[in-house]
Amino acid sequence: MKFLNLFLLTLFLGVTQLHAQIKVEEITYKANNHFITTTIGYPVTGIYFSAEKKEPTIVLNPDGTGIFQHDDLTKKNITWGIECSDEGIPIFKAGFNSASYTFWYKTNDNEGWVHTQFSIHFNKKKMYLMGERVKEYDD
Q: What is the pLDDT of residue 21?
A: 66
The reported pTM is 0.82
Structure confidence by residue, pLDDT tens digits, 59-107: 999 999 999 998 899 999 999 999 999 999 999 999 999 999 999 999 9
Q: Give whole-number Cα distances, 11 to 6, 17, 20, 87, 89, in Å.
A: 9, 10, 14, 20, 21
In contact, 25 and 81? CB cutoff 8 Å: yes
| Range with lowest mean pLDDT among 38-42, 49-53, 55-59, 87-91 | 49-53
Structure confidence by residue, pLDDT tens digits, 2-23: 433 433 333 343 444 444 468 9
Rounded to whole angstroms, the Cα distance separating 98 from 38 reads: 19
In contact, 116 and 133? CB cutoff 8 Å: no
3-state SS string over the chain?
A: CHHHHHHHHHHHHHHHHHHHCCCCEEEEECCEEEEEECCCCCCCCEEEEECCCCCCEEEECCCCEEEEECCCCCEEEEEEEEEECCCCCECEEEECCEEEEEEEEEECCCCCCEEEEEEEECCCCEEEECCCEEEECCC
